[in-house]
Structure 1
Amino acid sequence: MNYTLKEINRIPKLLSRVKDYNFKFEKNKKYTFIGCGSSYNLGLIVSKIMNKFGYNSNVISGGEVIVFDEVPKTDIAIFISRTGESTETVQAIERFKNIKTIGITCTSNSSLTKKCTENYIFDFANEESVVMTGSFVFILNFLLNGIEFHDYSNITILNNIKNLVDSIDLKNYNHFVFLGFNEQYGVAKESALKVQEMAMQNVEFHEPLEYRHGPKSTLTEKSLIVIYSKDTYEERVLANELRNMGAKIILVSEDGDLKIKYNNGFDSILRIILPQYIGFKKAILEGLDPDNPKNLSKSVILKR
């Protein structure tokens, strides 16, 4: 029990190892990220930031590849799977013929690594828990350093996150909403998944201003809304509006409830820790086991 908390707590230690790798994206190459679940969300976040910096990148789920035989035109295909055994991701590799394939996983001798042209195996980041936490943050930092290097090994944000979340009585909330633009939309998507996986809560994710156009109809005093802000006037206005409607708001910004300055998306590495701890804490309060959520397993195997 509580592997999840240990795996969140070791994030700074994991990040200290990112500098050991020299991985760089090239602007004259087109990249496609393939994954499922959290691994898909990793690709979504990285791809958005790459495109912002002039790289050519897209993302597609392993499921879309195998169901529709959908293979985007690309130079390098990057397959992400923590266990290296997710059926859709592994099967998708076979569709990318005559294309360089890179596998990113936390497990040696996996089906993924046996099929890819090149592999990065981060076995030290593997987790006992079903839900991806520290490994997600490490892989995200590794990939984003392929654009621009950032050393987050001395982060203190973990304690700030714990203090903030511990100050909130999560028993009062059963509706969790995560809002963000661009790559922060990917962070919001992954955030919702963490709380859904660990704590089995009602979750949503949207672009911030899109939340005003319909979704806010379900907002109640039991709603906790996290806004991953790019420090814009509009997002501050939205936060105030939703507070006035009765929701609990966590504004993540340079001067927000959780102080993280927006840095062209590289700060996503820090922001994604917040929902991991929320999911863990809410699961414990609900009497659930965050290490082994109902109906979930570390490897999603599609049986025929």
Structure 2
Amino acid sequence: MTPAQLSSTMGGDGADQSVPSIQGPAAGSPDDDRKPHVSTRTTTEHEIRSQPEVWARAVAAAPEDAPVLGRPGERVLLLGCGTSAFVAESVAVLRERAGHGETDAAYASEWTPGRTYDRVVAISRSGTTSEVLEALAQVPAGTVRAAVVGVAGTPVAEAADETLVLDFADEESVVQTRFPTSVLALARTGFGENLGPVIERAVEVLAAPLPVDPSRFEHFVFLGRSWSYGLAQEAALKIREAAQAWSESYPALDYRHGPVAVAGEASLVTLFGDADPVLAADIERTGATVQHWDVDPLIQLVQAQRLAVELAAARGLDADAPRHLTRSVVLVGRPGRADARQGNGSQGMTQADIDAAAAKHAPLPVVVVGDANVDLVLRGDVVPRFGQAEQLADSGDLVLGGSAAIAAAGVARLGVPTSLVARVGADTFGTFTLDALRGCGVDVGSVEVADGEPTGLSVNLSTPTDRAILTVPGTIPTLTGERVTEVLDARSAPGLLHVASYFLQPGLARALPDVLARARAQGWTTSLDTNWDPAQVWAGLDEVLGHLDLLLPNRNELRAIAGALGEPADLDDVTLATRLARRGPRVVVKDGADGGWSVGADGDVVRAPGVAVDVVDTTGAGDSFDAGYLAALAHGVPDEPSRVRWATVAGSLSVLGPGGTGRQATVDELERELAR
């Protein structure tokens, strides 16, 4: 063990890593079209249920690792943002109560040096949070900078003198559950508590259903005292994040000092810590329901996490894809707090240092250009029979559609800052499309909303072996090259530019050679997924290929494009792709159940298999394949075999849910599959 890193990696990860249970035919093709039923347990739920086992690992690590939180007698400051700030507040109370020394807690975004500390401890699951890095930059010389993170080698970890890595408690989900509770379990053990009985009781509680139906309520309040007030704040945050519901938190006895005025029959008030019958009776007189789980406060927080996920499901929301949220907040190039650093004897991290540390790990930005619309996906007996015959389909979903929109959502889910350039109508479908994109983490600031024009609509008729698509173009064909150039010219730095659905956008297609040439001159890496040509003419691409770095067709599109360019039809796929590559771009091909491959002008082929999964819906799987490849580039994956593997895994995992974005992979899910 070295002072630089006190790692708690104790063997293999015993946490519950299982995936949703799916019934249906085995497949893994990015172009397959089968959709049976999928169970509804989310990744967040799996991580919630894994907590007793993960806590046991934190408890075992505590004797060696807990000193990172502060050695007895040290004066300590704990910093964090969001969930980590609430954990810091609780740990501070616990540490002082245990007699280990004076301990403060603060929001990293608000702290400025003033009081003297022996140690400043930053808590950050991702290890990339910008405000935490800024705070560490302000720590005066001579003060120990410590960090508790979920991922080793990240900017926060590298900025610290001592680092505790709880990688076994790291999460795939955006919504934090087991990482913060594991920090608390480790801290409490280090402060002298025996958590064995708590872990045993947690197993029992998780095996039982929640005692209350959250869908009965519209207003959720969590009250705590002492160290459980931090947990109450975290519980309210889980409700807001996962279920988008009205939630509040207060010190328990302060609730009667004003906030109780809005309590009523639609309110569920939860008491953390010890029961308080007098307070409960006062609240119940408002008509509110009061509950107190008679278990340790750490288990009370687990129950609140379950409450949030169940409420999300009741509201038709996906707890794995919380609105407007990403796994980490990284703000490169924001104004620093130089005023706070002036003359404080800090340890030398300037704003440039902070940005460099973040940029070292921050992916390149991706701008996706093309179609955004609504897809209505119907499954079952969907082959039309005319003559006024009515048919009953098995199921249907209204989902985000459009090759560009699905690709953008997939790239964003893989942790890359992603913007979409597209057009939608000022109508119900347009609002649906924008909300869905925002929910996936896509920046829609460059999506134009057109008055008097309808948003595009596609009806996908999906059978186990094939599909047909009926499309009302709406605003899809109206995007122009001038608009794309305008957006790119306004960007402060280049990244990756991806264009989709070439043949659905004739105005953009005509201007695309000039758009791409200008973009490449500015430093953008360019790529194109033409998708299928409804007219089957495949015209205009000869002028485009020379301005592309990447072309991403499926096998049928590859052969159609090559044929339109005069290549002989009797040549094999690799030879055709090689001939296209000699016109400019590397060609990355979606190859159905065989995964995918890529080839350059030298003819050397790089292949990667797909993942064998039980298919729910293959809509947009090729776009998720594109997203995987682009995300690998954006994250700086250095070798072509790994980039193609990212693409095939992302395409395969996307078929585990309905529609093009229903189950797109996160970076953690993808990396876990890559490690198999």
**What is the TM-score when the length of structure 2 is the normalising length?**
0.41
Query: 1:31-64 deviations in whole A, cap 9, x for unaligned?
Result: 1101100101111001012222332100111101
Mapped partners of 2:125, 2:325: distance in 1: 14
Mapped partners of 1:21, 1:227: distance in 2: 29
Mapped partners of 1:34, 1:247: distance in 2: 35
Correspondence for 2:102 among 50, 53, 56: 56
Mapped partners of 1:81, 1:105: distance in 2: 5
Query: 1:163-200 deviations in whole A, cap 9, x for unaligned?
Result: 452x4222210100001112121111111111111111
Secondary structure (helix, strand or coil) at the match of 2:271 reads strand
Q: 1:195 to 1:33 in 2, by over 3 A?
A: same
Partner of 2:47: 7
Matched AA of 1:259? D
Partner of 1:94: 137
- How far residue 284 of structure 1 moved from its aligned partner, in angstroms, is 0.9
Structure-to-structure mapping, 1:135-150, within 5 angstroms: 135-150=179-194
Q: Which has the larger radius of gyration?
A: 2
Mapped partners of 1:268, 1:10: distance in 2: 17
Matched AA of 1:56? E
Correspondence for 1:259 among 285, 289, 294: 294
CA contact (8 A) 1:71 1:96 kept: no
Secondary structure (helix, strand or coil) at the match of 2:195 reads coil
Matched AA of 2:200? I
CA contact (8 A) 2:61 2:186 kept: no
For structure 2, the 5+ residue unaligned runs are 1-40, 335-676
Secondary structure (helix, strand or coil) at the match of 1:77 reads strand
Matched AA of 2:237? L
Mapped partners of 2:71, 2:230: distance in 1: 23
Percentage of pairs with the same residue: 26
CA contact (8 A) 1:32 1:72 kept: no
Pair 1:301 & 2:325 matched: no
CA contact (8 A) 2:124 2:148 kept: yes
Pair 1:35 & 2:80 matched: yes
Query: What's the Cα RMSD here?
Result: 1.8
Correspondence for 2:234 among 175, 190, 207: 190
Partner of 2:223: 179
- How far residue 26 of structure 1 moved from its aligned partner, in angstroms, is 3.1
Structure-to-structure mapping, 1:1-304, within 5 angstroms: 2-18=42-58, 19-22=60-63, 23-24=66-67, 25-54=70-99, 55-65=101-111, 69-98=112-141, 99-152=143-196, 154-160=199-205, 163=208, 165=210, 167-231=211-275, 235-251=276-292, 258-260=293-295, 267-303=296-332, 304=334
- How far residue 206 of structure 1 moved from its aligned partner, in angstroms, is 1.1
Q: 1:279 to 1:162 in 2, by over 3 A?
A: farther
Mapped partners of 1:226, 1:162: distance in 2: 21
Secondary structure (helix, strand or coil) at the match of 2:164 reads strand
Q: 1:14 to 1:108 in 2, by over 3 A?
A: same
For structure 1, the 5+ residue unaligned runs are 252-257, 261-266
CA contact (8 A) 1:158 1:273 kept: no
- How many residues were matched structurally? 285
CA contact (8 A) 1:27 1:56 kept: no
CA contact (8 A) 2:76 2:118 kept: yes
Query: 1:6-29 deviations in whole A, cap 9, x for unaligned?
Result: 000100110111213322443321
Mapped partners of 1:85, 1:248: distance in 2: 40
CA contact (8 A) 2:265 2:289 kept: yes
Mapped partners of 1:135, 1:247: distance in 2: 32
Mapped partners of 1:229, 1:20: distance in 2: 26
- Of structures 1 and 2, the one with the larger relative CO (CA 8 A, separation 6+) is 1
Secondary structure (helix, strand or coil) at the match of 2:269 reads strand
